[in-house]
Structures are given as C-alpha cells and as structure tokens.
Amino acid sequence: MHSKRILTFCGLLILALAVFSAFVIQTPESKTQYLQNDYWEGCTSILVGKKASSDGSTISTHTCDCGVCDWTFRFVPAADHKKGDVRKIYHINQYKTWPPEQGVKWERYKDDYTGLDIPQVPHTYAYIHGMFGYMNENQVALGESTIGCHRKMRNPTPSAKFDITMLTLMAMERAKTAREAIQVMGDLATTYGYGFNDSGEMLAVSDPDEVWIFEIMPVGPLWTPDSGKPGALWCAQRVPDDHVSVTPNESRIGEIDLDNKDYFMASSNAVTYAVENGYYEPDSSEPFSWKKAYSPTHGSALSTQGRRGRLWRFFNIVAPSLELGPDTESMDLPFSVKPDKKISVQDVMAITRDKYQGVLFDPTDGIKGGPFSNPNYFRGFRINNQRYNGPRCICVNNVEYTTITQCRGWLPDHIGGILWLSFGAQDTACYMPLYCGITELPESFRVGDHYVFNRDSARWASDYVDFHTQVVYSYAIEDVRNAQKKWEDMAFQNLPIVDEAAMNLYEKDPAEARQYLTDFSVNHADSVIDAWWKLGDDLLVKYNHFRIYNPKTRKVGRVQTPKWWNKAVIEQDNLKPYTPPLKKKTN
C-alpha cells in the first residue's frame, strides 16, 4: 500500500509540473515571443497542385532541419492481420537518439510504449518512413513543419497517447487517399489525445489528385479521455490544383469555410475551442481565422532581417509577378498562389537549395560569407546586448535529409509514386529516386549517427562531401554542382525508360515489376553514395593545403582570395605594403 501511495504521489506531481509549465503566466507579448522564436530553425514544406506542376503530378517536400535527429530510413511491408489483433501505440520523440551500440532509433522506440492498444485493421499498407511516414504504396505522401501553438494548449502529459510521428505512421498504414490520411490522423488524435512530445504541427498531405495542408494542436494538459471532449483540434485546407504553397514553421490556414467540404476538413471543436479559451470573440466583427486564433506569428521578412523570410522568398521565386514585398507581414501573405509558370520536380529541387543567392538577405553579401562566399558562415550573433540576425534560408546546413514526394496519377500506384531523397545539406547532396513500390531500401540508409563517423552510412557520404566543401566553398561548390547535375540528370533520363519497362512487367506480374523497381532504386542509390564518397576524397585531394592539385596534369595551382577580401584585410589590420630593401652598392 505504501509503494502504491508513492507511485500515486509521483504521478500527481508529474501532472502538476506539466500543468504548471503549460499555464505559466504570459503577456500577449511573451506569447508572441514564444511562437516566433521556438521554430525559426525548423522544417520547410513545399506543396504543388497537379495543375501547377509541369507534368501533372502532385509534389510535396520536407526539409528535416534538425541537426541532432535520427536520419535513418526504413521500409515497412504490407501485412494482413487477424480479427482481434491490436496495434500498439508508442510515443516517438522527433529528437531523441541513442548511441549506436545501444541500438538505433527504430529499434529503441518501442521502449516508450504508451500502454494503449487500438483495434488493428485487416490490412496495413507498405510504406517508407524516416523521422515521419513519407509515402505508402497508394501514393499517399506526407511532409512536415512544426508551427507551434499557445503554451497553455500544450499537453505533455501521458493522457496524450499520440504525437505527430506516430500519427504519420498510422496514416501510412491505413490510408488510400489524402483525405483518408487526414481523417485517420484526426480521429485518432481527438479520440486518444494528441501532444506529449509535440505541440502545433503541420503536415503536407497529398495523393495523385489533391494536396492538403493539415494542422493539428493539443488541447491542454487537463484533458482526459473521460472528459467527453476531443483530445486534439485540427483543420485541413486543400491547395487549389493550379496553386502552390509552403509552410515554413508558420500556421498557414486562415479563414475557414467548413461548409465547403471540397476545400476544408476540421475537428468538431475547431472554432468552439477558440471561443471557450478566449482566442476568438464570436461577437466581434472579425471573421474567425485559424492561424490568428491558435498560432499567431508577427513580423515580416524585412522586420526580422530574414529570419522569417522563407514564406516571402518562396512566393517571390514562384510568382514574382505578384510583387509581394519583403515588408509584407507573414500573416498577411496568401495561403497559396498560382505560379507564373508550371513547376517541375527539378524546380522544386532548386528551391530546396535556395540561400537567397543574389537577392535581399544574401548571406554572402559583403564580407559575411568570408573570402570564399560561404553562405553558411553568417547565422547571426549578439554583441553588446544587440541582436544581429542572419537570414533563415530554405536551405540550411543542419538538415538531416530532404524528401520530395511525387505522385503521378496516370500510372499504377507502385510505379507512379516516387520519393526523391537527399541526405544532409541540400546544396552539397544529391537527390535519389525511390519508387513507392519498392520492397527494400539500401542498407546504408538504415544506419548512422551524428556522433560516430561511419563509412557504411549513406548520410555520412553526404556529410563527407559537405565538410570538404565548406573550406573553399566558392571553388568546391562548382565541383559538387557538376556531380549533382550528372547524377540527377541521369535519374531523370532513366525514369521514362524505367516507367515503361515496369509497366510492361506490371501487366504480366506486379511482383516482378516491384522487384525491377526495387533493383533500379537500390542500385542507383548505391551508385550515388559511392560517387559521393569518391567526390569527398577528390575534394580533399584537390583543395588540400589551400592549393589546387590536378591529378591528371600533376600540377599545382593556388586558391586565390578575392581583391575585396584582400583590401578588407589591409584596412582591418592596417597592413603596410612591402617595400623591398635597397641593394647595397658594391665596388
């Protein structure tokens, strides 16, 4: 009895601490500060409707911008289940990892069992996942971006059985369409509670026909299943087929029309929760706005010195004719836009590599990028209690990987779905196509850790190239771009051939077609990884000792610093020109 009382007391203490942390007193200004600052460094998700893409596919992305997270990928096969089987639910922390000798993340996550078993469905679909579920065999695809919410909405207590990673895995297992995926995640979250590891989150949810922005929030630490109220609130808005959109750690859904079921889906408490908690006054003249109620953010690209600039930058790239100024408040920028020209997968790849090159907030402008115009140097700093922001680019060098999901409705699902994957920083990595019909992934995708160098890991091959590029960036990046062009062009040239061959096999034997797609995807990825290890070796040799070694000619050149840099050094250090000594006259 004594031990039970101790356990009860400890449980109540944990709950009390969670409630206190969620309800910490805040002024409106402190709420804004929290919402603005916590997620500046998070992930970016781009969405492209089927009539906005150059080939009729839907496209979505996820830049997994973390710097400490697990980067490994898994393939989960389809499975049939018996009547009465259950699905165990686990808490999966986005950021937690273990030393390799203790087991990688996808071996250890089952240590965090929530205690919840839910009825299993008769059949679960095959899918590919990394930090989240990304694409299943039905061409249902996801991308993610953390958006935050009011602090008192957080629910870090055990009453919240689902966090965002677990929800995405359930969507992959159970959904045949984007709408089904949204409903699966929404129903599970409202029934069993959402939060624990996560707060406000956004998912890009797509299939060959539609692309949606799905946003979900917890409902506070006092929620219990016995309350009779939903354990989460969520809303989803469809991106028009001829539009594109982006979520850069900011809530994007504004005014909603729940009667328009073609474009909106939501939980039953989507509006009432805001009224009950004072986030919206129904008697006011203002229409209800989801983002203003639950995840308001303030500032523009200009006012934040580029820290909150990704939203403006994306629209500036895809629809310059709109002339959206960098001083436009992010909350006032449109949900989606029609691009000036149709967008290809290659265009999306280029956008994921964008670092404001040649435009406002360029991190290499002036001396910020150093003598070799390195866009990764200037991240901002604080001096004499003054903050100087560096721009937050779409492409950052702390990204674990980037996914580009492409859903093509004119092909059978196993052939139509492609997950383009690059490991590490996009500007120095290479995108590799993985058909959603594959039955296995390269072994090198399954291993690796930030703290232990591993030549068996695909991610370390990318990091190896990235590391050797940073030293003389303006020189080495050209070598990298040449390698990217070679291998990515090769993939795009091969895809129509692979599509046709797979279709011919599929009509005779779908299993044989899937094996063919697996062989192509794995072999191409293995070739890219081998090429990137060699590229890293080549960069080390070529730019060793700040020289330029040419193995073919066996000649050595010099890495030259630019004139403006030399002049800046003269001015900064007050250098004096060298004057050779006068020669002594000899008789």
In this prediction, what percent of the chain has a pLDDT beyond 90? Answer: 88
Q: What is the DSSP letter of 255?
A: B
- Tens digit of pLDDT for each residue in 294-339? 999 999 999 999 999 999 999 999 999 999 999 999 999 999 999 9
Confidence band of 428 (pLDDT split at 50, 70, 90) = very high
Q: In this structure, are residues 464 and 425 in contact, taking their beta carbons and an 8 Å threshold?
A: no
DSSP 89-129: EE---SS----GGG--HHHHGGGGEEEEEEEPPSEE--EEE
Q: In this structure, are residues 148 and 35 in contact, taking their beta carbons and an 8 Å threshold?
A: yes
Q: Which two tokens stand for residue 316?
A: 């500036």
What's the gap between Cα 519 and its chain centre? 27
Domain ranges in the chain are 2-356, 411-542
Averaging pLDDT over each range in 21-30, 262-271, 391-400, which range is the top one? 262-271
CA atoms within 13 A on the CB side of 586: 1
What is the model's pLDDT at position 104? 86
- What phi and psi, each to the nearest 5 degrees, are found at residue 120? -80, 150
Q: How many residues does the chain have?
A: 587
- Tens digit of pLDDT for each residue in 448-466? 999 999 999 999 999 999 9
Give the pLDDT mean for 270-285: 95
- What phi and psi, each to the nearest 5 degrees, are found at residue 103? 105, 140
What is the model's pLDDT at position 585? 73
Give the pLDDT mean for 19-42: 41
Residues facing 419 on adjacent strands? 405, 434
Residue 30 has pLDDT above 60, yes or no: no
pTM as predicted: 0.92
- Tens digit of pLDDT for each residue in 170-179? 999 999 999 9
